[in-house]
Amino acid sequence: LAKTTQPISMDSYEGQEVNITCSHNNIATNDYITWYQQFPSQGPRFIIQGYKTKVTNEVASLFIPADRKSSTLSLPRVSLSDTAVYYCLVGEHTGGFKTIFGAGTRLFVKA
Amino acid sequence: SAVISQKPSRDICQRGTSLTIQCQVDSQVTMMFWYRQQPGQSLTLIATANQGSEATYESGFVIDKFPISRPNLTFSTLTVSNMSPEDSSIYLCSVRPGLHTYEQYFGPGTRLTVT
């Protein structure tokens, strides 16, 4: 499983766009990049997954450069309710493959 | 998607005792996992609960301490045996509904405090 590195914490203000970058230099050909969000006292929640280029859904966008050694989760116009821990995971994550969580990034959104 | 419930939601136990945590899913799922999350920390995978066979444990976790059952495709239990204060943590059940599904769903967790 590829190791991931993310900032420990980030601060932002309501209405701003937040970009959280994850490094995964040893990503394998079959690996996907997946992001989860965890609010206090809740289990993690799937946000988005991608393999290359750009993926967008109603919650976030995921940018993956051609070399796939990093990825950036983009949250448009954050609100106070986006305060959470965001986990970047790299792996196959299907079938019998395990999902291993790294340290995550604690995002604090201020008014 | 899958809706997961866990029982109990929280408990306070004395050291040396055991607690069994139940995980119920509203649909049949292929993969079930148990995680532990200590306060302010990330999630640590304990084991994969295999239906009809012994669970597959991660390094640092053993069956004698964390016996797991999975009698069918919608239910699993995790027992924390001979508890010590170091076992105080949140225990989360997680499922991946299908072999070709990459999303995982998590239960609300069981908050365990060992005194």
Any CB–CB contact under 8 A between A51 and chain B?
no
pLDDT at B53: 84
Nearest to A43 among B101, B102, B109 (CB): B109
DSSP code string of A14-79: TT--EEEEEE-TT--TT-EEEEEEE-TTS--EEEEEESSEEEE-SS-EEEE-TT-SEEEEEESS--
- Residue-level length of chain B: 115
Domains identified in chain A and CATH numbers: 9-110 (2.60.40.10)
Tell me the pLDDT tens digit for each residue of B54-99.
899 999 999 999 999 999 999 999 999 999 999 999 999 999 887 6
Chain A residue with minimal CA distance to B2? A45
Domains identified in chain B and CATH numbers: 1-9+28-99 (2.60.40.10)
| Chain center to CA of B70 | 11
Helix (H, G, I), strand (E, B) or coil at A13: strand
Tell me the pLDDT tens digit for each residue of A6-35.
999 999 999 999 999 999 999 988 888 999
